[in-house]
Structure 1
Amino acid sequence: MNKRLLNSRFYQILTLVIVLVLILCIRLFVLTVIQHDSWNASADSQNTKEITTEAPRGKILDRYGREIATNRQIFTVTFNVSGLSTEEINTTSYNLVNILEANGDEYVDNFPIVIEAGEYRYSYDDEKAQWLAKQSFSQDMTAEQAFNALRNQYEIDPHVDRYEAAEELQTTYGVYPPINIRSMTYTYDSEKEEFLEKYELDTDLSAQEAFAQLRDKYKISDDLSDDEARKIFRIRDEIKTLGYNKYLSSTIAKDVSNDTVVYVEEMSSEMKGVEIGSETVRYYPNGNTLSHVIGYMGSISDYQYEEYVTEKGYNAKDLIGKDGIEASMESYLKGVDGVKSVRVNSSGDYISTISETDPVAGKNVYLTVDLELQKTAESALAQAIQAVQTGSTFRGEYGSTRMSKFANCGSGAAVAIDVETGDVLAMASYPDYDPNIFAEGITTEDWASVQSTNPRDLLAPTPLYNVATKASVQPGSTFKPVTAVAALQCGLDPSKSIRDTGHVTVGDRTWGCSAWNSYRGTHGWQDMATGIQNSCNYYFYCIATGKDWGTGASLGYDEEISIEKIMEVAQEFGLGQETGIELDETTTPLASAERKMEGTKDSLWSYLYSTAVNYWPTSVTEDEEALRKDIDTIVSWTEENPSRGEIINRIKEQTSVEEDKVETVTDICKYSYFNQAQWTVGDEFNISIGQGDNAYTPLQMANYVATLGNYGVRNQVSIVKGIEGIGETEKDAPYTIDVEKEDMEKVIEGMRRVVKNGTLSGIFAGFPVEVAGKTGTAEKDGYINPTDEVAYVKSHLSSIVSGVSWSDVEAAMKQLMKDDPERYPTENDAVDDALIEASGNKVTQSQIDKYKETYDEFAWVVTMAPADDPKIAVVVMLVQGGISYNAGPVAREIIGKYLDLEGQYEEADFTTKMQ
């Protein structure tokens, strides 16, 4: 029985083994025979890697083919550690850096542990501290607090979310805070954490502890000091960044000397893995010239990763166009990278080359600008601004002019457009920068050099900011030809004379002409030509309303004129609209009753929110939701504009405003906001002369003047002439304004008189051709914030208020920052309210601002030439230029150079249209 059972079990086991072996054989047959090709391909794919060779970037050239952006061939030193031991890598790295240093060549230093005088620090911490200090932020400020402080500083609408706010900071103000918007953490902190994780180190290690562990990990000789060991880690960090891709070479140094090239090639047997290579880098042969048009290169950011790396196949380390033509034409300028397929082993070491394709260069982009004319525009603009700052003489090729002094004039723009085509011939913005500093990745120091000189002053010079396309400001009297055309369309007789009485009084408000405001004079009888020549506000008040305000008589229009009509014509001229240029540009909505109402609501909301501590109890100011609800409630009454008594009752019943502050809040809302929100005849007056809610960029103004010179035919603006191999830029069909050519000539006649006998007569005296033009100035409300508000208050404290000590203010300031870090992230943000609080609310903001400078006026000049058959339109705007006359010499130099250059060169020819 037992024997029989034993035999039975034996055969069962044997059968099972046979079945398993049979299954294994069948599976082996499937894998090695039937699925051989599939598995072989899979194995090849795992052992095959691709190495890309970056394609040369396409050139950027002017309309005549002169190089603006090109590529420069340089020698590089690369290090491939495939097959090398740890000791060999260390020895070769140390020898290599010594050679580079001996020959004066710079080499990579992305290793973030800094050693100075025996002190060990993370460079990330240094950079964060420097950034916070530059913003006047406290060193313990969180990323979210810093971001909110920037929102307040740049007056970003508090209603928009953080992503929209970040976009506005970047696109409008050129501010790129080192903050991850999604997680609200400093990028410096995340980069430090990534560095430590890359080396499998604890993320809480100090810099000295991390360095010591790395020495042990990579067996750095004890004979070397930490400073010497760090040189090795500068190389090793580049190698580590490659991860398991040992078949790739790390670039250790770029643009090395011939001495280094010769040495490495001669000592190749002793320096295993080190090779001399060559590559192209972006090069701008004209330095700062056209910097705002060209733009600059930069690394692919986190938010761009998906678009460029995932979708378009870029290498994560590629540099891309970040601004200007480099950005807008990226898809054409970027070439097709070469690819070398190599076989590697399981450790990632190189074995052999399978195939290789050569890179294909990007396409060349031709601009509409004339490089010589551009240099004239930039030189003239820079000299004019510098002369205005000092009140010295502008000395140009076509004349000299003594400038009136306005020391705060620090920026401006000049734009020249071909009247018949809309092509940009020159576009200058000051201050500018050298895009070469971005060509291989910008340093922290260079990045700081192109930021605002005073982040607390929105008009402070900022090298990266393109004033020509982004500064949307009031145009002043240069807008008056728009009002003239609107009146002509409504039936104004341009020869009809109106007697200037000097001013118009409506209610308790007076609107005066410049002659009246200056010396109680008048311009006498004015028709359209003399009204434009003398820039007579009174004349334009009348034609903008269809009424002679002196006699009360109608001007007899066929169609009623209104602000809506004037804005309709402004829109036809391209004002407040995108021009079509291939660059980022700012557009401000045209003036309207709705825009004024919404603007007033936003201003009231911001005022109440920023001064809430003065009117609400602490229990509300510390409750964000409750405070916002109260402010929303008050702002919602703006359109209704209740009586003073009604507002008092509503504030008491519907909000938590402190009882003794109810009447103060009521009067502020009623008289400073509610009453001002309604559209009045005063708004019509202001709009008609280019003040009020008018706001346009120099580029839009140039397009408008070109349209005037083209007798009402508006072209799409372009700065790209075409792309080599693709063709010429194809534009939208021109738009024609419904106005008779004869009427347009009447407007231009007035502008001719401005140059002959008006404000530009001194500038263009003796000029070889007749020029038509118009001047204008526009005010900027408010005070210039000093770089350091704390220092300002401290130095003027005794003049602002008596009986309050600085220690009182300092104590209140620290308490405000402690109680409400969101609203008071910096001492500069807190000091004014601290002074108000320390004074027992006796001090007002106006008293604090009393010793600050006010803004000088924007200076505008718009011109076209020759006046009888305009070919070029030139617009110049100086920020805080003071008087329009100061902008005139720049326009004169550009027009003069244009006339001298006309017909000298043959333009690039494109036979096909852009696809």
Structure 2
Amino acid sequence: MFNKLENRYNVTLLIFSLVFVVILFRLATIMIVQGEQYREQAENRIFKTIPLPGARGEIRDRYGRLLAGNRPSFTVQMMKNEVVDEKINEVSLSIINILEKNEDKYNDEFPIIFTEEGEYVFTYDLELQAWKERNDLIDVDDARDAFEILRRRYNIAETDPIEVQQEFIKIPNLSVPISIRTWKFTEEMRKEQWLESYNIRDVETTAEEAFQLLRTRTYRIPEDYSDIDARKIMLVREQLRRQGYLQYQPVRIAQDISEASVTEIEENIINLPGVNIAVEPIRYYPEGQLAAHTLGYLGKISQQSEIDRFIRELGYLPTDIIGKSGIEHSFEETLKGADGSQRVIVDSVGRLISVLEREEPVPGDAVHLTIDANLQRVTEETLEAVLKTLQVGGTYTTRWGSERLMGRSGVMKNATSGSVVVTDVKTGEVLAIANYPAYDPNLFATGISSADWQRLMPENERDPLAPRPLQNIATSTAIQPGSTFKMIVGLAGIEQGLSPEYKILDRGFIQVGGHSFGNWLWNQSRSTMGHQNLHQAIADSNNYYFYSVANGYDYGAGRPLPIQMNMDILTDYTKRFGLNDRTGIEIDVPRERSGGVPSVENKTRTVKAMLRNHLRRQMKLEDLDETRLDRTPEVLTEIIEEIVSWAEENPSRSVMYNRMIELGISEDKAGIYTDIAKYSYFNQARWSVADTMNFSIGQGEHSYTPLQMTNYMAILANGGYRYNLSLIRKTQSYDGTNTVEYPPELVERIQLRDYNNLDEINYGMYLVNETGTARNYFRNFPIKVAAKTGTAQREGKIPPIDEVEYLKRHLRSFGVTEAAVEEVTAQLMEENKDNPRYQDKGFAMREAIRTLNPRANLDQFKDDYDNYSWFTGFAPYEDPQIAISVLIFQGGSGGYGAPIFREIVAEYMGLNTVVENDGSIIENRLTR
């Protein structure tokens, strides 16, 4: 035996035999001796990893008051790797039925629904149809045509699709779901992608066909389930399917469910394998609508850009909610918490046995705003109250005054929107931003319903001034400043050496060619203001004075002023006050309008856009000489662009006529188009005295936002210091260990020859409320303020919700019959298939009526727009602390913003706080 052991082969064999015997012995022990114990553990103990979502960081005001926080809520989760295949249909249907019984919302993104008539419809088609209806494009099937119609409707001069798309982004509440790469509606592309994900490559597949394919081929749902129940099953299974290889991650079936649903699910948990009830933080806004546009709202990851950034780059889950606007969007990565996890053992019915390990979630950082919640509340309440008073021509009453708010033409029934901005003049911090109407961001916390979303849409999408609750007017609406701009003209004048005491005689109006430029008092009552200096002219808003200063000519005396003045000087001073730049505010960065200071270049660009639109409407293929070129839409477009390109050169009529002939325009039409381009457009592209007149009183091509106007007021008040506006004071980690401060950002002290000249301007603004246009609003007010009224012209007619219906209703007044109009409309649409504008039935019908009766006034039954109302300034006058701008859509007169301005100053200065004899402090809410 020992000899055999000397053989290495035998030794190896012996060792393996011993190991094998040990393994057999251990196996026998496990299976026979301890088999029952291990069987029980295998059947009754399940290891699970439960994700623990990190709470979203809080948003607080400058004093720590909570504006956006989190509350615990119950979420229904389903783990894909724990669902038994045989029971998936039964479990899915049971969960949805429980939620529906208790009226709880659940995540339903399955894109096929049933109508009340029992039809199968793609939600993509419904979304596209609704968008077309809102934008009056119901009969436009081609995405490129729809894109072109919108470009023309919004008077966008650019023709490059990328540039046009960038201009669309700047238009408040306008979405253009069109891909310029494929020239398809994005909803069409989403439908194609969804069908492709199920290997359905026929884009013509109907909703019913797709549904049945998925039911029978993909999910193999038995026939004993109805289609309604099958859809409930498929909406759950599709969510599980989207999870892909991340089977260990739970899928949220529903969030923020009721206790009734929680109880019922827990009672039936043994029959619902893979289902789990988790407690997750849900965003909530304790103050409801307060500062809604500043805070922003949340939404599901949906756009391709969001998928690329948040899911692919940052590792978000497809079911995560992200910030879509406001601070929630701009500080998404700061507010987003880090998820934790908990590894546990549960029994077969999901009951917790023990916790093995736990990784705590990390809450997101808190964002502390510059907003004062109390001032914000008073600002919003006052704005709403004044607007509603204006709409009925009522009396607005507080302890500081009582005013009848009625325009000269009656009630301001369309004064339904407005905005107010309040800033600290010494730091650029924003103390309040109010927009009316607003919305409750709580609606978006777990995904907004279609019904709630529709209620936030404007009733009349075709009316750009219709109330839009989601629109942040303060950042996105740039309009003419009216008389609030006059201080810049006055400052430029005295900076050039004009004495503030120099008086100009107001003679009522100034005649420039065929135009009469009158002072507002002359236009109103044929009265004049006599001799006035700078201070008086600001106080009384004397157009005549500022016409004279801007042109460097004393029209009252008929002689030049003793200063040099030109448009370069005026635009230079305008830009110094930041009116051509963005304000630096942290929200709505892509959509914040940067304003627009008028210039020769801007005017030329506008004229070119107007000529382009005119030629596209009027020039037809028949106007081209078919013996010299092909009559195609592409050739016609090239000819129009060539004509437009002559704007800067503005050649003589004879040269232009010969060029028209050379381009291939027929001789009988070349003269007509030459005169249109030369006399109606090119000659108007040059800067004229009339343009300077409009510039001087804030009309014409000016366009500034409430944010820009407030910053302009702050620069006047603080001695010429220009700050970037800011909404953020600091961000802070949940445990306070990491704080990032956001100090004020001084851009520059604007260059002035003498900073004392600002005092001259501010004194004129002080007189506005003492003896000038706003004196009636501040008679009983104890704080001296400096302010300026402004009225910005808004010309045009309010478009009806449905242009076709409007035209049909008034056909008799237009002197035409419905049958004739329908016939000509159909003919025009057929003859102009290649012209996107004629695919708009409303436009085609208008052209048809004009063809039948050229004298018909098609807009005579539409209401006129009222003017914008501005009231801007700062307070207190002696020691400026806050700057304020008030903008009211269709408010008629600038003075109507004064009560809002006044109540904000009262709140800021503590005038609404009452101290009792016992020393207690109470808030004296204003009586209205």
Give the aligned partner of residue 382 of structure 1.
384
TM superposition shift of 1:120: 3.0
**Which amino acid in 1 is paired with 2:595?**
T
Mapping of residues 82-97 of structure 1, within 5 Å: 82-97=81-96
Give the aligned partner of residue 59 of structure 2.
60
Native 8 Å contact 1:612 1:621 kept in 2: no
**Which amino acid in 1 is paired with 2:647?**
T
Native 8 Å contact 2:310 2:316 kept in 1: yes
- Partners in 2 of 1:148 and 1:633 — Cα distance? 19
TM superposition shift of 1:615: 8.4
Matched, 1:860 2:870: yes
Give the aligned partner of residue 270 of structure 1.
271
Segment drifting more, 81-90 vs 211-220? 211-220
Determine which of 444, 467, 473 is the counterpart of 1:461: 467
The gaps in structure 2 that reach 5 residues or longer are: 1-46, 346-353, 733-737, 916-928
Give the aligned partner of residue 670 of structure 1.
678
Native 8 Å contact 2:462 2:799 kept in 1: yes
Give the aligned partner of residue 578 of structure 1.
582
TM superposition shift of 1:219: 5.2
Segment drifting more, 134-143 vs 198-207? 198-207
- Partners in 1 of 2:366 and 2:65 — Cα distance? 11
Distance 1:566 1:117, change over 3 A: closer
Give the aligned partner of residue 617 of structure 2.
610
Give the aligned partner of residue 805 of structure 1.
817
TM superposition shift of 1:282: 2.0
Normalising by the residue count of structure 1, what TM-score does the alignment of the two structures yield?
Answer: 0.85
Matched, 1:155 2:161: no
Give the aligned partner of residue 308 of structure 1.
310
- Partners in 2 of 1:81 and 1:627 — Cα distance? 59
Native 8 Å contact 2:785 2:874 kept in 1: yes
Give the aligned partner of residue 869 of structure 1.
879
SS in 2 for 1:82: helix
Segment drifting more, 747-756 vs 627-636? 627-636
- Partners in 2 of 1:305 and 1:198 — Cα distance? 16
SS in 1 for 2:160: coil
TM superposition shift of 1:183: 2.3
Give the aligned partner of residue 784 of structure 1.
798
TM superposition shift of 1:734: 4.9
Distance 1:181 1:647, change over 3 A: closer
Determine which of 892, 897, 900 is the counterpart of 2:910: 900
TM superposition shift of 1:215: 4.4
- Partners in 2 of 1:618 and 1:799 — Cα distance? 39
Native 8 Å contact 1:789 1:831 kept in 2: no
SS in 2 for 1:69: strand
Native 8 Å contact 1:368 1:423 kept in 2: yes
TM superposition shift of 1:279: 1.3
Segment drifting more, 212-221 vs 426-435? 212-221
Deviation readout 1:399-418 (Å, 9 max, x if unpaired): 33211222222222111111
TM superposition shift of 1:863: 2.1
**Which amino acid in 1 is paired with 2:286?**
P
Native 8 Å contact 1:380 1:396 kept in 2: no
**Which amino acid in 1 is paired with 2:768?**
V
- Partners in 2 of 1:895 and 1:645 — Cα distance? 63
Determine which of 309, 320, 327 is the counterpart of 2:322: 320
Give the aligned partner of residue 477 of structure 1.
483
Determine which of 611, 633, 637 is the counterpart of 2:642: 633
Deviation readout 1:772-821 (Å, 9 max, x if unpaired): 11111111233322222222322333434x4x433333233223333235
Native 8 Å contact 1:154 1:458 kept in 2: no
**Which amino acid in 2 is paired with 1:375?**
R
TM superposition shift of 1:658: 5.3
Matched, 1:510 2:511: no
Segment drifting more, 444-453 vs 774-783? 444-453
- Partners in 2 of 1:711 and 1:749 — Cα distance? 13
Distance 1:103 1:318, change over 3 A: closer
Mapping of residues 320-399 of structure 1, within 5 Å: 320-338=322-340, 357-396=359-398, 398-399=400-401
- Partners in 1 of 2:630 and 2:359 — Cα distance? 66
- Partners in 2 of 1:309 and 1:98 — Cα distance? 31
TM superposition shift of 1:367: 1.0
Native 8 Å contact 2:621 2:632 kept in 1: no
Give the aligned partner of residue 883 of structure 1.
893
Native 8 Å contact 1:81 1:246 kept in 2: yes
Distance 1:342 1:191, change over 3 A: farther
Segment drifting more, 316-325 vs 289-298? 316-325
Give the aligned partner of residue 11 of structure 1.
none
TM superposition shift of 1:157: 2.9
Give the aligned partner of residue 226 of structure 2.
225
Native 8 Å contact 1:86 1:219 kept in 2: no
TM superposition shift of 1:764: 1.5
- Partners in 1 of 2:256 and 2:339 — Cα distance? 21
Matched, 1:567 2:546: no
The gaps in structure 1 that reach 5 residues or longer are: 1-47, 344-351, 906-915
Matched, 1:400 2:402: yes
Native 8 Å contact 2:68 2:283 kept in 1: yes
**Which amino acid in 2 is paired with 1:532?**
I
Give the aligned partner of residue 437 of structure 2.
431
SS in 2 for 1:744: helix
**Which amino acid in 2 is paired with 1:359?**
P
- Partners in 2 of 1:632 and 1:253 — Cα distance? 55
TM superposition shift of 1:500: 1.7
Determine which of 757, 764, 771 is the counterpart of 1:750: 764
TM superposition shift of 1:602: 2.1
Matched, 1:296 2:297: yes
- Partners in 2 of 1:432 and 1:380 — Cα distance? 14
Segment drifting more, 752-761 vs 86-95? 86-95
Give the aligned partner of residue 242 of structure 1.
243
TM superposition shift of 1:649: 4.5
Determine which of 479, 491, 500 is the counterpart of 2:497: 491
Distance 1:253 1:279, change over 3 A: same
**Which amino acid in 1 is paired with 2:702?**
N
**Which amino acid in 1 is paired with 2:97?**
N
Give the aligned partner of residue 817 of structure 1.
829
- Partners in 2 of 1:129 and 1:763 — Cα distance? 49
Distance 1:210 1:613, change over 3 A: same
Native 8 Å contact 2:799 2:862 kept in 1: yes
Matched, 1:764 2:778: yes
Mapping of residues 78-227 of structure 1, within 5 Å: 78-115=77-114, 116-138=116-138, 141-161=141-161, 163-200=162-199, 203=202, 205-217=205-217, 218=219, 220-227=221-228
TM superposition shift of 1:155: 2.7
Native 8 Å contact 1:423 1:718 kept in 2: yes
Segment drifting more, 496-505 vs 110-119? 110-119
Identity of aligned residues (%): 39
Deviation readout 1:527-562 (Å, 9 max, x if unpaired): 1111111111111122223331232334323xx222
Native 8 Å contact 2:804 2:841 kept in 1: yes
Distance 1:410 1:715, change over 3 A: same
- Partners in 1 of 2:597 and 2:187 — Cα distance? 41
TM superposition shift of 1:874: 1.1
Distance 1:710 1:615, change over 3 A: farther
Distance 1:570 1:342, change over 3 A: farther
- Partners in 2 of 1:289 and 1:615 — Cα distance? 59
